[in-house]
């Protein structure tokens, strides 16, 4: 398992050799959270006052990788 703390909250993924799972996603106080899951990716987005921070985990044809988008 690997955790990622970002503006807005914390996300924990179970990263395997060829797939991943979402263990937990916890927003900070005052932030909203949404989760999207598909066959080869998971997206967790935290929003507050027009700000959006996303954590993407993808694993299509490659081991799971995590990208954080925090503009």
| Rounded Cα–Cα distance for residues 48 and 66 (Å) | 22
Q: What is the pLDDT of residue 47?
A: 98
What digits encode the pLDDT tens for the residues 38-67?
Answer: 999 999 999 999 999 999 999 999 999 999
Structure tokens at 13: 């993924």
CB neighbour burial string for 39-71, b if at least 16 within 10 angstroms, e if fewer: eeebbbbbebeeeebbbbbbbeeeebebeeeee
What is the model's pTM?
0.94
* Eight-class DSSP state of 10: E
Q: What is the pLDDT of residue 71?
A: 86
Q: What is the pLDDT of residue 35?
A: 98
Give me the mean pLDDT over the 35-40 stretch.
97
What digits encode the pLDDT tens for the residues 1-25?
Answer: 999 999 999 999 999 999 999 999 9
Domain locations in the chain?
A: 2-69
| Rounded Cα–Cα distance for residues 45 and 55 (Å) | 6
């Amino acid at each position: 398992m690997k955790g990622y703390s970002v503006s807005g909250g914390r996300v924990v993924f179970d990263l395997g050799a060829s797939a991943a799972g979402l263990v937990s996603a916890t927003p900070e106080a005052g932030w909203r959270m949404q989760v999207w899951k598909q066959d080869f990716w998971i997206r967790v987005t935290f929003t507050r006052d027009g700000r959006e921070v996303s954590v993407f985990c993808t694993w299509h044809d490659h081991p799971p990788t995590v990208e954080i988008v925090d503009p």
